[in-house]
Each structure stands twice: as C-alpha cells, then as structure tokens.
Amino acid sequence: MNEDSMRLGRERRFLVLLGIICLALIGGALYMQIVLGEAPCPLCILQRYALLLIALSAFAGAAMRTRRSVTVFETLVVIFALAGAGTAAHHVYTQFYPSVSCGIDVLQPIVDGLPLAKIFPLGFQVDGFCSTPYPPILGLSLAQWALVAFVLTVILVPLLVSRNRKQMN
C-alpha cells in the first residue's frame, strides 16, 4: 500500500467518523424529543435533514476508492453543512427574538410534506414552535449546539482534507 492510498484511507476513516457523529446527533435529538418531551419545530427538522444528508454523503464518500470521487462527497458534506449552519443560525436568531418566530403554521406544511415526514413521522414531523425555550445543555441551546456542529464541519472538513492532500503531493 503506497502513501497516497494510506492518506486517502485516512480521509475515508474521517468521513465514517463524521457520519457516525451526525447520526449520533440525530439520535440525541430523538432522545430529547421522545424522553424529555422537547417537540421539534420546523427548523429543528430541517437541521435533522442536514445532518442526515451530511451523514449519507460522508458514508458514500468513505465508500469511494478514488481521490476525485471522495472529493465530490466531501464537497457535498460542506454544502449540506452550510445549509445546516444557515438553518441553525436562523433558529438561534428566532430564539433570541421570539417575535420573528417561524410559527408552526408557516413552515409546517412544507417540512411535513417532505418524504421522510411520511416514512418516519416520529423523527421528521413538526410538532413544536421554533421560539420555544428549552433548558440549555452546558450553557447553550440545542440550536446553538447545532450551529457549532455545522460550523465546525464547514471549517474542519476542508481544513483536514487540505492538510492531508498537501502531504500527498
């Protein structure tokens, strides 16, 4: 096994880890919903979609064998993380300014019309308001933690890929 394939293997392992983390975050959100009774709002559900798309892209990228194909999926990961960061940032803003709340009736029909809401309604159907304040976790709201996770993904994926690829050349 040459050094280039070892470095590509490192990226692929990183993608698997990222996918597992995203699925764990969705699992944590489901725990908070089912066990703690924290009803997901439309923005929460959109963030779950972003996490799921990141996880699927990461796992698909990890299954690829060429640098170019891995790069395609790493790019998708960053795009979905940017979308998630935008959604989470709007959620954080809504929580700070509840008067601009998305309101369950504005986004609910759109989000509930997405395919996973029908296939897995417990995990992807709207049941709450975006402005509902739930107890913070280590000082941050769930929307703030989601924003941190998405921003870290946007920053770390290109950074780690770039560092790894520089060592390849």
Burial class, 58, CB count within 10 angstroms (exposed 0-12 / middle 13-18 / buried 19+)? buried
pLDDT score for 167: 62
pLDDT < 50 stretches in the chain: none
pLDDT score for 10: 82
Please provide residue 61's backbone torsions phi and psi, each rounded to the nearest 5 degrees: -60, -40
pLDDT score for 41: 87
Q: What is residue 140's DSSP assignment?
A: B
For 69, how many CA atoms within 13 A lie in the half-sphere containing its CB? Answer: 10
For 8, how many CA atoms within 13 A lie in the half-sphere containing its CB? Answer: 17
pLDDT score for 102: 57
Integer angstrom CA distances of residue 94 from 75, 116, 164: 29, 25, 38
State how far the Cα of 19 lies from the Cα of 126, in Å rounded to an integer: 24
Please provide residue 137's backbone torsions phi and psi, each rounded to the nearest 5 degrees: -115, 115
The CATH number of 3-168 is 1.20.1550.10
Helix (H, G, I), strand (E, B), or coil: what is residue 137?
A: strand
pLDDT score for 110: 81
Domain ranges in the chain? 3-168
pLDDT score for 56: 97
pLDDT score for 51: 97
DSSP string, 80-117: HHHHHHHHHHHHHHHHH-GGG---HHHHHHHHHTSHHH
Report the 10 Å Cβ neighbour count for 78: 19
pLDDT score for 52: 96
pLDDT score for 84: 97
Decide: 128 and 108 in contact? Cβ < 8 Å: no
pLDDT score for 59: 97
The residue written with tokens 């392992």 in the block is 13
